Amino acid sequence: MKAKDFEKRFDAGEDITPYIDKASIRRPGLEARRVNIDFPEWVIEELDAQSKVIGVSRQSLIKLWISERIQREHQIQKSLSTSAT
């Protein structure tokens, strides 16, 4: 289907989902990007121990902890900005 026809159907309120390739849909900003981080041996041992406790991989644990910390920092910044006004 041509883009023009697709847009017409969309603008007319038609269901366009049958024409969408769902396998190629990507949410912006969620693409993975590889980074390398060096940790001391004791940190790796602690990460491995904690990952076993909660039953996830070391990588998943690191991603979880970092995302939790980022969310907490956003909450702190938000509360500081609202209390400053």
Domain range holding 83?
Answer: 56-85
CB 51 within 8 A of CB 61: yes
Question: Each residue of 21-53: pLDDT tens digit?
Answer: 888 777 777 888 899 999 999 999 999 999 999
70: Cβ–Cβ under 8 A, 6 or more apart, which residues?
none
Determine, yes or no, domain membership for 9.
no
Determine, yes or no, domain membership for 3.
no
Question: What is the predicted pLDDT for the residue at 39?
Answer: 97
- Number of domains the chain contains: 1
More confident residue, 84 or 38: 38
Determine, yes or no, domain membership for 30.
no
Mean pLDDT of 13-22: 85
Q: What is the DSSP letter of 12?
A: T
Which amino acid is present at 25? I
**How far is it, in rounded angstroms, from Cα 57 to Cα 55?**
7
Determine, yes or no, domain membership for 12.
no
CB 43 within 8 A of CB 36: no
Determine, yes or no, domain membership for 13.
no
Determine, yes or no, domain membership for 45.
no
